[in-house]
Chains A and B, each alone.
Chain A
């Protein structure tokens, strides 16, 4: 098994939840499919969904929510299915 870091595709503000009233996209230990949305990056009033791109189990978010992230910065870690 290997660990996969999901990286931000663009610079912007990272969100772990779809809107302020909702829970986070995923919790540690949760099963993730490759096409699952696991975060949002907002840049200049445009929201870009972040996809897991690998199937596995969420280890945890590594970037805080509502903070500025750079393109290529790690957002979360997934334990990839063997």
Chain B
């Protein structure tokens, strides 16, 4: 691998360019009209313009990216996260063009991208999935039988659906008998398929995910991350290790993730996501992400492994140089996502020009960002402008240092979520790690109600 095209923008493009430079690989950035002066364009060895500002006309156009790779003489393509990173057809097109795709093979992306197939692969690897039906259920009688075996409450999901649409939770046979025909009818009219899946509904769940590295033959885990603090299914704060699981759960979950990687011959960095039932301590596979993730730095910090560099080495054909016993976790890391949104105006995004910026520094503080003085936060892309990642010997130390780091962060010209994150750090439930996937939204709702009461 001599010259790498980074098929992305923002902080992840900057992150990939830095890792590639550390390995002595030349870098090519791609830019839309909106990003001509962006940080990733400034840092790369060369830049190719790929189209207008809307992502659908630039960063999401596979042909434009392949043309950029040809034009720049790149021999490899890193997709980053989002955009085309988990599109099997793009991985295949890159390979067909004779270039190295930094990620798993197209067939593996496709397999893990299909929830039903991913679930089957997990079961074949002996990895627990949320108890439920393996095939779509067509009528009420079959649903009642299945729910009896799964145990109430159960979740009804359209077999052909996706993106959380048409999900119903029922607590009893009577509710199921009433809800099934409605849900199935809706699924039939929306998707042309009335079959439903039934799954156990986990009332209080944590989202814990295992970072993995595989070379197609062998695989290792780089411990887990806790990502339960979410708003509208978007992660807000992530930490490693998870403060919500015990050693036995950690050992079982990480081993399960490695088994799954071996089962599919996984080759790259990836993440195996689990739902942990807070009441019983059981963990269930939900899905696998076949790309580098936003929150990868917390795993890097506790392990000392550069995951993007590892990803590039694997893509270049090197076997894993790590054995599991070489992967040792030390201390505690927390990542805060800084978004250009106003938490006091229902998180309304605020594009604009950055007038002043001061990034946190000092020991054990890392800021991954594309922001600089005069940066333009464009309305065309997502609102993530920076990630502040903090390390400490233990969780309380990391939290104390997080306050210091977030206090140092100054961004003027666009709104940010920094103040809200500082407030979150002071919540007792955060300090005590008493939270599940619903906690952040409950807190935000309370916060809004208190603000409305105070204004009266």
Task: Spell out A's residues near B (CB within 8 Å).
Answer: 10-13, 42-46, 48, 66, 68
B side interface size, CB within 8 A: 13
Given A43-B379, A45-B382, A68-B379, CB of A12 within 8 Å of CB of B351: yes
Given A43-B349, A43-B351, A44-B340, CB of A12 within 8 Å of CB of B54: no
Q: Are B383 and A13 in contact (CB under 8 A)?
A: no
User: A10: which B residues are within 8 A, CB to CB?
Assistant: 348-349
| Interface residue? B343 (CB, 8 A) | no
Q: Are B349 and A46 in contact (CB under 8 A)?
A: yes
The contact of A42 among B341, B348, B379, by CB within 8 Å, is: B379
Could you give, for residues 33-58 of chain B, a 1 whenever the CB lies within 8 Å of some chain A CB and a 0 otherwise?
A: 00000000000000000000010000
- State in angstroms the CA–CA spacing of A80 and B40 once bound together: 49
Distance (whole angstroms) from the CB of B403 to the closest CB of chain A:
27
Q: Are B379 and A44 in contact (CB under 8 A)?
A: yes
- State in angstroms the CA–CA spacing of A7 and B352 once bound together: 19
- State in angstroms the CA–CA spacing of A44 and B379 once bound together: 5
Q: Could you tell me the dominant secondary structure of chain A's interface residues?
A: strand
User: For A10, A12, A44, A45, which residue has the most chain B Cβ atoms within 10 angstroms?
Assistant: A44
Q: Could you tell me the dominant secondary structure of chain B's interface residues?
A: loop
Number of interchain pairs (Cβ within 8 Å): 35
Distance (whole angstroms) from the CB of B234 to the closest CB of chain A:
10
- State in angstroms the CA–CA spacing of A44 and B54 once bound together: 11
CB nearest to B383 among chain A residues: A44
Q: Are A66 and B54 in contact (CB under 8 A)?
A: yes
User: B341: which A residues are within 8 A, CB to CB?
Assistant: 44
- State in angstroms the CA–CA spacing of A42 and B380 once bound together: 8
Distance (whole angstroms) from the CB of B337 to the closest CB of chain A:
13
| Interface residue? B191 (CB, 8 A) | no
CB nearest to A45 among chain B residues: B382
CB nearest to A42 among chain B residues: B379
The 5 closest A-B pairs by CB, nearest first: A44-B349, A44-B383, A12-B379, A43-B349, A43-B379
Q: Are B381 and A11 in contact (CB under 8 A)?
A: no
User: For B348, B349, B383, which residue has the most chain A Cβ atoms within 10 angstroms?
Assistant: B349
User: B380: which A residues are within 8 A, CB to CB?
Assistant: 13, 44
Distance (whole angstroms) from the CB of B335 to the closest CB of chain A:
20
Q: List 19 A-B contacts (CB under 8 A).
A: A10-B348, A11-B379, A12-B349, A12-B379, A13-B54, A13-B379, A42-B379, A43-B349, A44-B349, A44-B351, A44-B377, A44-B379, A44-B381, A44-B382, A44-B383, A45-B382, A45-B383, A46-B383, A68-B379
- State in angstroms the CA–CA spacing of A66 and B377 once bound together: 18
- State in angstroms the CA–CA spacing of A11 and B340 once bound together: 13
- State in angstroms the CA–CA spacing of A45 and B351 once bound together: 12
User: A43: which B residues are within 8 A, CB to CB?
Assistant: 348-349, 351, 379
- State in angstroms the CA–CA spacing of A12 and B340 once bound together: 13
User: B348: which A residues are within 8 A, CB to CB?
Assistant: 10, 43, 46, 48
- State in angstroms the CA–CA spacing of A45 and B54 once bound together: 11
Distance (whole angstroms) from the CB of A15 to the closest CB of chain B:
11
